[in-house]
Amino acid sequence: MNEKEPHFLVADPKQQSVLYLIGRYRGKGSVIRFNKRDGTIRWHAQYDKMSRIHSVSQAADDDDLFICGDYQPNEVLGDTAPYGSNVNYKAVMARMKDDGDISWIVTSTGKHPLYDGTTYEDQDKCMGIAYYKEKSQVAVVIQGKMTEIRPSYKGDFFDTILVLLNEGGETEKVVVITQGSLKYDMYSAKNGILW
């Protein structure tokens, strides 16, 4: 895979001479830190278990980047956008230092409400992430198709899940926004959360 999708160009809040290019490079979620003046790359981090990055958050005067996206394990087999219901992908969230070291990476997925082993696969994406440094909390928006959310009105529809993590990536609280018996998708915008 040689997919390239630059999504975000972010200035380092502690070093204004440095930028981050965040998105997808060589088919994997990537973060590239480089000098603003001459474009010299300082480091390049690539995630083997994250296919694309949909959101990024960094607090002022903080060393850490919080990113989220999705992982499509079978992408090399030709599962590409637009995604049908038979394409598997999982929501992924990560925390990384400004030197490229990854502190933690968390995958989240549920079983598709209509899963049958051949037609419907798990389909969950992390679409937004926000870091609240003063409270040591990370808010996440997941767009998912999970039987745990739609146990009664099963269908091939996306619902929205709000997740509150602590700084270590552990779940503290989950709130589900589901359409219940209504049969339509609820989509989230990329980088779709503010704190």
CA proximity to 189, closest of 65, 66, 91, 55:
55
pLDDT tens, position by position, 72-123 = 887 765 545 556 777 888 999 999 999 999 999 999 988 888 877 776 778 8
Summary mean pLDDT of the chain: 85
Q: How far is CA 64 from each of CA 14, 68, 96, 143, 166, rounded to the nearest angstrom?
A: 11, 13, 6, 24, 14
Using CA atoms, how far apart are residues 136 and 40, in angstroms rounded to an integer?
Answer: 33
So what's the pLDDT on residue 188? Answer: 73
- The answer for residues whose C-beta is within 8 angstroms of residue 134's C-beta and 6 or more apart is none
Residue 15 has pLDDT above 80, yes or no: yes
Judging by DSSP bridges, how do beta strands 123-132 and 137-145 pair with one another?
Answer: antiparallel
Phi/psi at 78 (5° precision): 105, 10
The amino acid occupying position 133 is K
The whole-number pLDDT of residue 82 equals 55
Q: For residues 23 and 122, which has the higher predicted lDDT (pLDDT)? A: 23
Q: Which tokens belong to 84? A: 């049908």
Tell which residue, 150, 88, 98, has the closest CA to residue 124.
88
Kindly tell me if the per-residue pLDDT of 163 is higher than 90: yes
Instruction: Say if residue 25's pLDDT is above 80.
Output: yes
78: left (phi over 0), alpha (psi -120 to 50) or beta: left
Helices assigned H by DSSP within 78-173: none
Please give the CATH superfamily to which domain 5-177 belongs: YVTN repeat-like/Quinoprotein amine dehydrogenase (2.130.10.10)
Domain residue limits, the chain? 5-177
Instruction: Render pLDDT for 26-45 as a digit per residue (tens, 0 to 9).
Output: 889 999 999 999 999 999 99
In terms of Cα–Cα distance, which of 30, 109, 28 is closest to 65? 30
